[in-house]
Structure 1
Amino acid sequence: MSEALVDEIEAINSIYGDDTLTPSTQDQDPSIFILTLPGDTASLRLQFPQTYPDVPPTVLGTHSTGAAGKRGAAARDLTLFRDAVSEVYEPGQVCLFDAIEKVQELLAAVKEGEEEEDDEAVSPHAGDVPDATPTAPPTEPSAGGDLGPPPPWTLSAPFIENKSTFIARCAPVTTPAQAAAFLAHLLASDKRVRTATHNITAWRVRGPNGTSFQDCDDDGETAAGGRLLHLMQLMDLWDTMVVVTRWYGGQKLGPRRFALINQTARDAFVRAGLVREEVAAGGKRKGGR
């Protein structure tokens, strides 16, 4: 098993739960793992070649049909995950985190379409039933209800060290209120993020008439927000916000954690096209605007 796969297994289980990616107990082949997708979905059998991530994992099939027990849903999840792997995989780069996030997006779109079809099928036509007295709305909306569309996040790759996992999200923002609303949406809609150890935030916005606004939040990781904001200042990033989520792994990192937080944020900026990757002499990469 490659070191990259060991790190990826640790990151995936830190983010989504301890039993998300585990070795198969039904196969003698140690390269076969069981991936349990988040939510009410199927578990999948994956095989990782010795040369992964230079070659992609093979999605062998379903392991179980999930809590719903629907074969059709399991086949759907299998197809969507294969599509997600094909879309996100790049040779030499681990891909499971991106594939899981991608398949979650695809599943949400599919389920939304199914719900709309069900609503159309059961909705009475005008005149079929008498007007009913409106009822009060529920005190707590269902997951994702009334939150509006999700912010246009660009996610970093997961970074792990001593069992702590870091992931950054960045998005374009035009006002301080929008930055606050995007953070609120993230915390309300994603339980994994909401229950993480820290969600460190920084944003910078250019206002009208030459004004500017910037702020940050440590979320319990003392001085981390200010360092994140300083990184954005050095990179001359404007009209952007970033949220770095950390799941603590039980081992203190000391000052090293600040470098990891900034490294993760920078990766999100690069993926969003806000920073240009340049290859200097000797093959070492550096960033520029």
Structure 2
Amino acid sequence: MPEELENEIEAINSIYGADTLRKADASDVYVLSLSQHDISLRLSFPQDYPESIPQILGTESTGDHTRKGFGKHTLDLARDILDSVFTPGSVCLFDLLQDLDLSLAEESNDHLPPQPNAIDEDTSPVANTTAPALHPDLEEEPHWILSAPVIEKKSTFIARACAVVSPAQARACVAHLLDTDKRASKATHNVTAYRIRSAAENTTSEVVFQDCDDDGETAAGGRLLHLLQVMDVWGLLVVVSRWYGGVKLGPDRFSIINNVAREAIVEGGWTRSRIMKD
């Protein structure tokens, strides 16, 4: 098994749950389970993965209550997404899972029956299955830019970054993430930092807001905020999730947290935006 694939399997299973990606009985065949959608796919990996693209062979199983044709539709969708996210030399399963989960969730919302009127709202089963309401300080769902997952001694790290214009919005984005993303809510730590500046009322001066939260990962929030300061980025919230694997990393964890955060910041183009403004 290529080392990149071994690390990717460990990272995916630590984020999405044990046996999300597991070896099947057949040689070089793996089963990828989409637990939220009650379906699993069969994959094979070439010996030179990630230089060459994996193959999605077919469906392994579908749930008893999935709608007719859902298995084939998911299979076709997964193959299209894999073609779009694969880059030779880079592992791709995390991107495949993220995009496939998002696409299936959006399709599921499109197939929901119309909302009941107010008189039936308290008793309707549909009313109890809708997504959580947006926080009052959010006009729309946050648009997160994600880093690739990094695994080190069984701990997995992922960074998310999104644009914010106020401390209240930053706090609401974190709350929304933990309310709507089960994987993030189950992380051992969600380290956060933000930097915001805005014009003060009736003056030409600026008001600066910056804050951080270790979430139990001692000193990590301050170091993450320091990274934002060194990179001189503004209007930005960064959340680094860590799923602890049982082996202490010591100071190495700070380097990993900053590295995945930097990747999300650069991927989102915030550094390029700052340079253009300068």
TM-score, normalising length from structure 1? 0.85
Pick closer, same or farther for the CA change 1:167–1:67 going to 2, 3 Å.
farther
Matches within 5 A, 1:191-206: 191-206=182-197
Please state how far the C-alpha of 1:203 moved relative to its aligned partner.
0.3
Aligned with residue 169 of structure 1, among 160, 179, 190: 160
Give the 3-state SS of the residue equivalent to 1:43 in structure 2.
strand
Q: What does residue 154 of structure 1 align with?
A: 145
Distance in 1 separating the partners of 2:35 and 2:235: 32
1:175-198: CA deviations, max 9, x gaps? 111101110100000111111100
Matches within 5 A, 1:243-282: 243-275=239-271
Q: Which runs of 4+ in 1 moved over 2 A?
A: 66-71, 131-138, 140-145, 147-150
Please state how far the C-alpha of 1:165 moved relative to its aligned partner.
0.1
Aligned with residue 88 of structure 1, among 85, 89, 108: 85
Give the 3-state SS of the residue equivalent to 1:211 in structure 2.
strand
Please state how far the C-alpha of 1:265 moved relative to its aligned partner.
0.5
Give the 3-state SS of the residue equivalent to 2:4 in structure 1.
helix
Give the 3-state SS of the residue equivalent to 1:10 in structure 2.
helix
Give the 3-state SS of the residue equivalent to 1:193 in structure 2.
helix
Pick closer, same or farther for the CA change 1:71–1:33 going to 2, 3 Å.
farther
Aligned with residue 79 of structure 1, among 76, 81, 85: 76
Q: What does residue 23 of structure 1 align with?
A: 23
Q: What does residue 38 of structure 2 align with?
A: 41
Please state how far the C-alpha of 1:67 moved relative to its aligned partner.
4.9
Q: What does residue 53 of structure 1 align with?
A: 50
Code of the aligned partner of 2:2: S
Distance in 2 separating the partners of 1:160 and 1:5: 12
CA RMSD of aligned residues (A): 2.2
TM-score, normalising length from structure 2? 0.88
Q: What does residue 110 of structure 1 align with?
A: 107
Identity %: 50
Q: What does residue 2 of structure 1 align with?
A: 2
Please state how far the C-alpha of 1:22 moved relative to its aligned partner.
0.3
1:57-89: CA deviations, max 9, x gaps? 101110001352444111121122112211211
Distance in 1 separating the partners of 2:199 and 2:176: 26
Which runs of no fewer than 5 residues in structure 1 stay unpaired? 124-130, 277-288
Code of the aligned partner of 1:145: P
1:154-212: CA deviations, max 9, x gaps? 00000000000000000001111110111010000011111110000000001213111
Matched, 1:32 2:19: no
Aligned residue pairs, count: 262
